[in-house]
Amino acid sequence: MGPTQLSAAPNPGAVVAVVPVADSGFALAWQGGSVTVPALTAFAELEPRWLWWSARTTAPAVLDAGVRPSRCWDLGTVGRLLHGLRRDDAAAVWAAEHGLPEPPHPSGPLDLLDLHGESGDAVRPDGQLSREWLRGRCDADLRHAEHWARLAVDLQVEQEARARALPDPRRTPTSVPMTVLTSYAESAASLLAVELERDGLPVDVEVAAGLLHDVIGPRPADVAEEHALRARRDDLVLQHFAGEQVDLRSPGQVRALLARIGVDVPDTRSWRLEPYAKTSPAVAALLTWRKAERTATTYGWRWLDDNVADGRLRGAWGSADAAAGRMTAQAGLHNLPVEMRPAVRAEPGHLLVRADLGQIEPRVLATVSGDAGLAAAAREPDMYTPVAAALRCDRPTAKVSVLAAMYGQTSGTAGAALRDMDRAYPAAMAYLRSAEDAGLNRRDIRTYGGRLLRLTTLPAGEPVGEHVAVSGGFGRFARNAMVQGAAAELFKAWAGTVRAGLTDLGGEIVLCLHDELLVHVPADRAPQAAVLLSDALARTAAWWACGSGVRFVAEVTTGESWADTH
């Protein structure tokens, strides 16, 4: 082994850390060297695995520089994955990797340790990162940025070693260990989140306006007209109550109002009122009003004005929620009512291609639990047909039984069904019980892909699952999170593969919806995009579910609007 040359260029495909410095270029570092450059193009040709402290802070500058990264490693994202962190800032990730206590937020006041040393070291005597560095010195100039990039390289090596050392849950492991692959996929998802936020979802404002007009009436010209229209909607309900002056938006007042016509309910949720709608026109009118009111307040003219610009609906995206690691989105991107989906339209000369994973959670359960019987069922296009045969019941009963087992049913008559499930699929049931047990006893657990679910240090009532503490403890939460979390990991791995394949087609992912991908492509490439969505799933499942025998299936459809693809 000769001495390392500091000027040695990275090999193609190497991990290369990038730290942008405003208006000055980029600091780059890799194992064996580092450099500062005015532009990224020469390094982009090496197709490196770009390494950054977080995509959210770094990727915009990289994308602006004209680079479309195909692979990356996100220290914040991987830190959250490996350590179950609720934060992804450099200080928290660094501390977790080095076994140090969780540091205060970088915005907190500086102390003597932060300012230690002649020039101010990046690492404090106690091993934590200096808050002075975190607050701007790291990208103040290229010299400091280069040091910051080297630290990133060191931390990546440590993270990868940790990921590599975790047990691989697959029956037939591939050469790259499972949690390293998950780290790649989760990092890609964080980059995708940045792109989704920048590019947005194509929405035809004219179509959206037409839909709104039909449901909530014309766009009000001023505040007075807005109130008048609101009053007119309210009157359609109130006329059923002899002109009483009641605030329909106040659940308490509505409940009292309903009591006066003999409808006595503990709350006024729509599913509870639904049975009365058949016989009571007043209740029916109230439910219709509720529907329109939801649209008017949450997805109305204000929403359109605030969130849609240049024909794109934009909101903040997160790559992993706190509970199980599913993607999150704001601005209504994840809860757009079905009635509004015709407004999601491909731009001229383009088409939307939608793919959704069929029966994803039971197939994931078959994979992660290694249950041979359930895996055999998961080789079929419809899992519930063989399950019904095994349980000697009809298909709807089979479906309910599987879901009840996965989610920990607490109501209804599940006893017999669960006994049958135990007989037919003992390994899957044992897996679920073991997850529930970990939850009940507050033990940390890892998902199939290696995400740490922290149940030990979580204070009761902490909003990881806002209602967990009150509604049933951590047992059901853990049982659910192990399945939902693994499904999220598969989904993101799939999405990352699709994203990489879309570059050649000139297309982009425009929406991620837990088990559904929406892709926007030039119209003549739509057939290729459809093939890509299916192929990417097969290729992803080949390593993700290696040796399990489980098949994953996607339904793929093409159309001009999102609604057309259903």
Partner DNA sequence: TCGGTCACGTA
Partner DNA sequence: CGTACGTGACCGAG
- Residues of this chain that bind DNA (CB under 7 A): 247, 249-255, 267-271, 290-291, 294, 297-298, 302-303, 315, 318, 321-324, 326, 328-332, 334-338, 356, 399-400, 403-404, 407-412, 414, 463-468, 471-472, 476-477, 480-481, 484, 513-516
170 versus 476: smaller Cβ distance to DNA: 476
Nearer to DNA, 24 or 253 (CB): 253
CB of 75 to DNA, least distance (A): 22
Residue 28 vs 283, nearer CB to DNA: 283
- Please answer whether residues 131 and 114 qualify as being in contact, where contact means their C-beta atoms are separated by less than 8 angstroms: yes
**Smallest separation (angstroms) from DNA to the CB of 297:** 4
- Six-digit token pair at 15? 């991990």
Reading the block at residue 281, the tokens are: 């026109």
Our CB check for DNA shows the closer of 225 and 247 to be 247
Distance CA 65, CA 39 (A): 7
Cβ atoms of residues 263 and 276 within 8 Å? yes
* Radius of gyration of the chain from its Cα atoms, rounded to whole angstroms: 27
Distance CA 77, CA 93 (A): 9
Q: How far is the CB of 312 from DNA (least distance, A)?
A: 15
Residue closer to DNA, measured from CB, 50 or 289: 289
Minimum distance of DNA from residue 202's CB (angstroms): 18
List 37's β-bridge partners, or say none: 26
Give me the count of residues in the chain: 566
Which residue's entry shows tokens 């969130």?
Answer: 307
Least CB distance from residue 361 to DNA, whole Å? 7
What's the min distance (Å) between Cβ of 230 and DNA? 9
Sign of the four-CA dihedral 369, 373, 374, 380: positive
Q: Helix 178-199 and helix 473-502: axis angle, to 10°?
A: 70
Question: Are 511 and 201 a contacting pair, CB within 8 Å?
Answer: yes
3-state DSSP call for residue 296? helix
Q: How far is the CB of 315 from DNA (least distance, A)?
A: 6
Smaller CB separation from DNA, 318 or 549: 318
Which of residues 132 and 197 has its CB atom nearest to DNA in the complex? 197
Number of C-beta neighbours around residue 206 at 10 A? 11
Q: Are 438 and 475 in contact (CB under 8 A)?
A: no
Token readout for 445 is 């657990």
From 199, 86, 91, select the one nearest 138 (Cα to Cα). Answer: 91
What whole-number distance in Å separates Cα of residue 147 and Cα of residue 131?
15
Q: Closest CB to DNA among 335 and 457?
A: 335
Residue 184 has φ and ψ, to the nearest 5°, of -60, -50
CB of 191 to DNA, least distance (A): 18
